[in-house]
């Protein structure tokens, strides 16, 4: 059997690349040939390729390779080349060749925020409108928010109704689908990254060259980090003789790393402070204490994914109380969470088996 994976393939986001690898890995464990189909944002694929070539030439002429963002891209490209199997076929919302149907038995859309209605590029392709309905499987995609953009409701209703085998990643997403379509057959599944255990993730983990042996607190904030929160984290670091690694600080040597190095930093952190869903996921998988902070600088709530995660695994004590990080926060016991996770893994695998007629 051959399956084409549709997900977000552009950009440098740790969670996105790791969930892509997870879906591929899970399928391959079932002896399925899995490939990720690049989904181009541009309306014209050839224009997109031309732009990439021009950008590459400009980088070479002006020696931009030393730029932190370019260094970071190199690590992500390395991860893609080493671990992600990309299809030779390309697709975009304006270039949906029906021929692609002939090369795959099924198409899986998911996971990540491929159904976020605030991202204009999330359109026809991410709802598998290019293939036959009986080949469409939605495997834990995410809306990313608690509500849909009003302008897209009718389109989303039509597209979602056309997918016979459907699951979602958050409870809020299930509610959106039920209100939009009336469907009651939508399962809420854990993110695909949680279907692999720590030992399986270690296979793609790499130690960053920048890392010394000293203890560290890992900060991974996709939103802003206020001075108040920063001071509280620094207090805990000082009291526990830790460095603080700020992953998205462009002045930090750790900004220029890839998904493999991110895994290593998660596994070996003294504690993780984050507003990132996937950072929480890997903290759980690697049995590390983490504190999750609400992302306050978003006009649209992005917390639904984390809310589902915290509630599902009964980890309310992992949430920042807005005042102080306590000694209890620095400890962790995921015994009960791991029991729940085993059941969730069975549930997700059963959904895949039924959807792909395995």
- What does the pLDDT look like over 295-338, one tens digit per residue? 866 644 557 789 889 999 999 999 998 889 998 899 999 999 99
Q: Residues 95, 52: one domain?
A: yes
Q: What stretch of H or E contains 292?
A: strand 290-292
Separation CA 353–CA 188 (nearest Å): 16
Q: Residues 49, 75: one domain?
A: yes
Mean pLDDT of the chain: 91
Q: Residues 135, 268: one domain?
A: no
Separation CA 110–CA 351 (nearest Å): 13
Range of the domain at 22: 2-197+342-355
Q: What stretch of H or E contains 166?
A: strand 165-168
- What is the pLDDT at residue 122? 84
Separation CA 83–CA 201 (nearest Å): 12
What distances in angstroms separate CA 53 from CA 46, 50, 338, one per listed residue? 11, 5, 46
- What is the pLDDT at residue 60? 59
Q: Residues 146, 277: one domain?
A: no
- What is the pLDDT at residue 286? 98
- Cα 58 versus chain centre, distance: 30
Q: How many structural domains are present in the chain? A: 2
Separation CA 139–CA 24 (nearest Å): 12
102-130 in b/e form (b: 16+ CB < 10 A) is: eebebbbbbbbbbbbbbeebbbebbbbbb
274-285 in b/e form (b: 16+ CB < 10 A) is: bbbbbbbbbbbb
Q: Residues 253, 266: one domain?
A: yes
Tokens of 36: 């990720």
Q: What are 234-243's pLDDT values in tens digits?
A: 999 999 999 9
How does DSSP classify residue 186?
P
> What CATH number is associated with residue 132?
3.40.50
Q: Residues 263, 347: one domain?
A: no
Q: What stretch of H or E contains 219?
A: strand 216-220
- What is the pLDDT at residue 51? 72
Q: Residues 114, 79: one domain?
A: yes
Tokens of 167: 């699951």
Q: Residues 34, 58: one domain?
A: yes
Q: Of 295 and 142, which is predicted with more confidence? A: 142
Q: Residues 75, 89: one domain?
A: yes
pLDDT at 34 over 80: yes
Q: Residues 190, 296: one domain?
A: no
Tokens of 197: 């255990």
**Order of strands across the sheet with 33-40?**
86-92, 33-40, 2-6, 106-109, 136-138, 165-168, 187-188
Q: Residues 233, 159: one domain?
A: no
Mean pLDDT over 156-173 rounds to: 96
Q: What are 191-225's pLDDT values in tens digits?
A: 999 999 999 999 999 999 999 878 999 999 998 88
Q: Residues 174, 237: one domain?
A: no
- Cβ count within 10 A of residue 290: 24
């Amino acid at each position: 059997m051959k399956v084409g994976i549709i997900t977000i393939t552009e950009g440098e986001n740790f969670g996105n690349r790791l969930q892509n690898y997870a879906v591929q890995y899970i399928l391959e464990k079932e002896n399925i040939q899995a490939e990720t189909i690049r989904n181009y944002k541009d309306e014209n694929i050839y224009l997109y390729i031309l732009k990439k070539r021009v950008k590459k030439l400009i980088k070479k002429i002006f020696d931009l390779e030393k730029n932190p963002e370019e260094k970071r891209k190199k690590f992500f490209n390395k991860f893609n080349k080493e671990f992600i199997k990309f299809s030779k076929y390309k697709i975009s919302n304006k270039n949906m060749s029906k021929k692609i149907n002939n090369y795959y038995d099924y198409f899986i859309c998911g996971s990540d925020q491929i159904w976020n209605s605030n991202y204009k590029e999330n359109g026809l392709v991410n709802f598998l409108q290019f293939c036959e309905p009986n080949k469409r499987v939605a495997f834990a995609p995410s809306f990313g928010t608690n509500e849909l953009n009003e302008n897209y409701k009718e389109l989303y209703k039509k597209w979602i109704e056309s997918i016979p085998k459907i699951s979602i990643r958050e409870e809020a997403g299930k509610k959106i689908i039920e209100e939009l379509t009336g469907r009651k057959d939508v399962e809420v599944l854990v993110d695909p990254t949680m279907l692999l255990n720590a030992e399986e993730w270690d296979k793609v983990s790499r130690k960053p060259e920048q890392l010394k042996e000293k203890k560290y607190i890992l900060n991974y904030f996709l939103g802003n980090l206020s001075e108040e929160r920063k001071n509280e984290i620094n207090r805990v670091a000082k009291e526990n003789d830790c460095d603080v690694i700020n992953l998205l600080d462009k002045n930090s040597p750790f900004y220029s790393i890839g998904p493999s190095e991110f895994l290593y930093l998660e596994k070996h952190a003294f504690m993780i402070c984050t507003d990132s869903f996937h950072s929480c996921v890997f903290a759980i998988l690697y049995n590390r204490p983490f504190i999750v902070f609400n992302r306050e600088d978003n006009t649209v709530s992005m917390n639904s994914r984390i809310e589902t995660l915290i509630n599902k695994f009964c980890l309310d004590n992992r949430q920042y109380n807005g005042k102080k990080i306590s000694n209890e926060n620095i400890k962790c016991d995921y015994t009960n969470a791991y029991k729940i996770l085993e059941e969730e893994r069975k549930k997700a695998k059963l959904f895949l088996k039924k959807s792909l007629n395995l």
